[in-house]
Amino acid sequence: HGVLDGETKVALASVKIARLSAGGAMAAVAAVADGRVQNAYALTRPPGHHATPDAGLGFCIFANAALAARHAQAVYGLNKVAIIDWDVHHGNGTEACFYDDPSVLTISLHQDNLFPQDSGRREDMGEGAGVGSNINIPLPAGSGDGAYCYAFERVVLPALQQFQPDLIIIACGFDSSIEDPLGRMMLHADSYATLTRMLMEVAHTLCDDRLVVIHEGGYNPMSTPYLGLSVVETLS
């Protein structure tokens, strides 16, 4: 019965549901780490990438992808985890969880200075032992296929090759699509299939196909299911 911020209201069952959402992300990691599946999609709500270690923000209560990464490390010995976040908003919470940790590579592609304000700057690259393990790719409003694929080819894929992860997690926001009301980007179903395929290929090369996709944003109820279907079809 409270408000974490202007967007994030907490009702009686919110914590229970948020724990289930985080648990769904961890269960997806467990299925991949155990070798039961090559990849998995955690279709959960609420999202998590804005939640910092000590506060919820922007519809997020717990940091689902960050908890899933720690679960992979602590329980399954997957020591190096890469988190690729293509939600339209900066993954500030995931960044905060690992800002000084070189064992987790965090890469966020997002609309420049959309949400949170003054967050996700290119020069924010980590601190201490984690310098270089946080990469922000702020893109101008109106970016589409070309910008995202170029960023993947020039930054994301080379960074993964250098980092050599044991597991890749995608923080999968569909609010980068052309029809989403909370962003101004121009991705579509084929875009998400292409980006998914690129990360599947690098996962096949670097970490025995271990790839977990965790649902984040996506706020057009008419188009988001088709975008999700495109990713799931590609994974399967």
Q: Is 10 left (phi over 0), alpha (psi -120 to 50) or beta?
A: beta
In the set 1, 49, 50, 89, the catalytic residue is 50
Q: Classify the C-alpha dihedral 187-210-16-57 as positive or negative.
A: negative
First-to-last CA distance in the chain?
Answer: 40
Q: In what order do the strands lie in the sheet with 211-215?
A: 39-42, 211-215, 167-172, 81-85, 104-111, 134-139
Active site residue 50: yes
Which residues are marked as active site? Answer: 50
